[in-house]
């Protein structure tokens, strides 16, 4: 099996590549532009594996991507490359439209040209998995869950750009009968998570005795999934999902942000004792504009139709994640030097409440 992965130097893409090569024995071509979020050091476990290849390219570059299809001849595409951070999309939306919308369009067109050029069994088994987010559905009130039939209602430039790309992917399936599938996943966490996102930011700030910024009153809810569970879900969808369908992926694991951060602080207090409880470092700051209140995934379709379910509990996943950050400063140290993580402060003047 030959899999072309885009965005493989990112958080989830690197977990997908480790899974495909080390667990499944597949051949992988990773296409990544190496933006600020792309870190080849996340792929050290496979870097010298003969099944791994890397092409530094922009997914918007039609010629480079077409050539990659022609030479690598993938059986599957797993398209993850994207601008992924909501706060950055508020301060500079252009990159999000460029990569997430136009880049996905280019990937679909190059895949279509390649797929139309192949025949027989190779054509029959070809799949294009477009990896997306639950944020396309907007915000939920209490008691509701996102299903695959939920209405698209994105709130941020990030989620609007992902919604646009989902529509393109679905249209390519309907119009050209291309074997495209879409996955919409909830919040991931785990090793190699870029330290601008809530969980790694909270771990590292709390570890270093810095304030841990929480937007608004900290009661927004996210549905957290361990990244390796997501990597397995994506492989399952690419292998057994029905073409033209969407699959929602989530761990049935809703937490208020304030409770996530408190759990991180108390776990760290045990592992690395400090003078005072780290919970005192939590600081409520001005809210993210358009901040969705709650996300929660109904993963029944994944569970019933494809037999996938999340295996890692949040408590054990958080502990594994904290242990990983404690042991791997070589990975996050250089990233922290260049990215303070709190981009919202540049938007809102950073007034602490
Ligand atoms: P990430 O920001 O960690 O990684 C994105 C990767 O894409 C980086 O390696 C970056 O260099 C690469 N990239 C960006 N622009 C590119 C371009 N123009 N050409 C080639 N490569 C480019 O993101 P992530 O958190 O790993 O998310 C991966 C995918 O999963 C995204 O499509 C995201 O929307 C989706 N997703 C993320 C989550 C989450 O919780 N992180 C949840 C659901 C869905
Ligand atoms: O739901 C899936 C999405 O999850 C993915 O599509 C995105 O790519 C991914 O970045 C993530 O988006 P979120 O905006 O939910 O993740 P983030 O870690 O930025 O924020 C999680 C929650 O924590 C959210 O409610 C905002 C809040 N937050 C975030 C940061 C960075 C804070 O309170 N303080 C912070 O400093």
Does ligand 2 come within 6 angstroms of the Cβ of 133?
yes
Stretch 55-67: mean pLDDT: 98
Cα distances (angstroms) measured from residue 134 to each of 4, 197, 228, 260, 296: 23, 16, 18, 19, 8
CA angle 2, 118, 17 (to 5 degrees): 15
Arithmetic mean of pLDDT, 70-86: 98
Q: What is the pLDDT of residue 293?
A: 97
Q: Give the pLDDT mean for 15-29.
A: 98
Q: How far apart are the C-alpha atoms of 270 and 229, rounded to whole Å?
A: 26
Mapped onto helix, strand or coil, the DSSP state of residue 77 is: strand
- Prediction pTM value: 0.97
- Domains for the chain: give ranges and CATH numbers: 2-194+226-252+294-312 (3.40.50.720)
How many whole angstroms from 220 Cα to the centroid of ligand 2? Answer: 10
Measured from the CB, is residue 86 less than 6 Å from ligand 2? yes
Output the pLDDT for position 339: 66
Give the integer Cα–Cα distance in Å for 5 and 209.
38
Q: Give 340's pLDDT tier (boundaries 50, 70, 90).
A: low
Is 31 near ligand 2, meaning CB less than 6 Å away?
Answer: no
Average pLDDT over residues 212-224: 98
**What is the arithmetic mean of pLDDT over 21-27?**
98
Longest Cα pair distance anywhere in the chain, in angstroms?
Answer: 67
The answer on pLDDT for 117 being more than 50 is yes
Give the ligand 2 atom nearest the CA of 223.
Answer: 1
| Joined tokens for residue 87 | 């706060």
Q: Catalytic site residue 32?
A: no
Nearest to 134 by CA among 273, 244, 32, 230: 230
Helices and strands, counts by H and E, the chain = 14, 13
What pLDDT does residue 345 have? 45
Quick one: average pLDDT of 241-263? Answer: 97
CB atoms within 10 A of CB 36: 13
Per residue in 122-153, pLDDT tens? 999 999 999 999 999 999 988 999 999 999 99
CA–CA separation, 59 and 2 (whole Å): 19
Given this model, what pLDDT does residue 43 score?
98
- Over range 162-180, report the average pLDDT: 98
Q: Is 134 an active-site residue?
A: yes
Residue corresponding to tokens 């379910």: 309
């Amino acid at each position: 099996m030959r899999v072309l992965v885009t965005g493989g130097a990112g958080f989830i893409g690197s977990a997908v590549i480790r899974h495909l090569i080390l667990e499944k024995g597949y051949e992988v071509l990773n296409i990544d532009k190496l933006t600020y979020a792309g870190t080849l050091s996340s792929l050290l476990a496979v870097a010298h594996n003969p099944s791994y290849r890397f092409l530094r390219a922009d997914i918007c570059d039609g010629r480079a991507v077409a050539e990659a299809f022609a030479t690598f001849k993938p059986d599957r595409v797993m398209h993850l490359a994207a601008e992924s951070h909501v706060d950055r999309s508020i301060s500079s939306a252009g990159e999000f439209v460029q990569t997430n919308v136009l880049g996905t369009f280019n990937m679909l067109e190059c895949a279509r040209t390649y797929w139309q050029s192949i025949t027989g069994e190779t054509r029959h088994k070809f799949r294009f998995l477009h990896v997306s987010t639950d944020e396309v559905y907007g915000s939920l009130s209490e008691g509701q869950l996102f299903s695959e039939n939920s209405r698209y209602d994105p709130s941020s430039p990030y989620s609007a750009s992902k919604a646009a790309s989902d529509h393109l992917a679905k249209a390519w399936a309907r119009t050209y009968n291309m074997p495209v599938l879409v996955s919409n996943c909830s919040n991931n966490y785990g090793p190699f998570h870029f330290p601008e996102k809530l969980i790694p930011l909270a771990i590292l700030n709390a570890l270093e005795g810095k304030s841990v910024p929480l937007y608004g009153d900290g009661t927004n809810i996210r549905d957290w999934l361990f990244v390796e569970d997501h990597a397995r879900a994506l492989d399952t969808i690419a292998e057994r999902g029905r073409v033209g369908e969407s699959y929602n992926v989530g761990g049935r694991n809703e937490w208020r942000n304030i409770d996530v951060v408190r759990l991180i602080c108390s776990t760290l207090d045990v592992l690395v004792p400090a003078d005072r409880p780290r919970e005192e470092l939590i600081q409520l700051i001005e809210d993210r504009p358009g901040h969705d209140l709650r996300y929660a995934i109904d993963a029944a379709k994944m569970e019933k139709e494809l037999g996938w379910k999340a295996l890692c509990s949040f408590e054990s996943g958080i502990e594994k994640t904290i242990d990983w950050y404690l042991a791997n400063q070589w990975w996050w140290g250089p990233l922290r030097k260049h990215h303070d993580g709190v981009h919202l402060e540049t938007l809102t003047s950073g007034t602490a409440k």
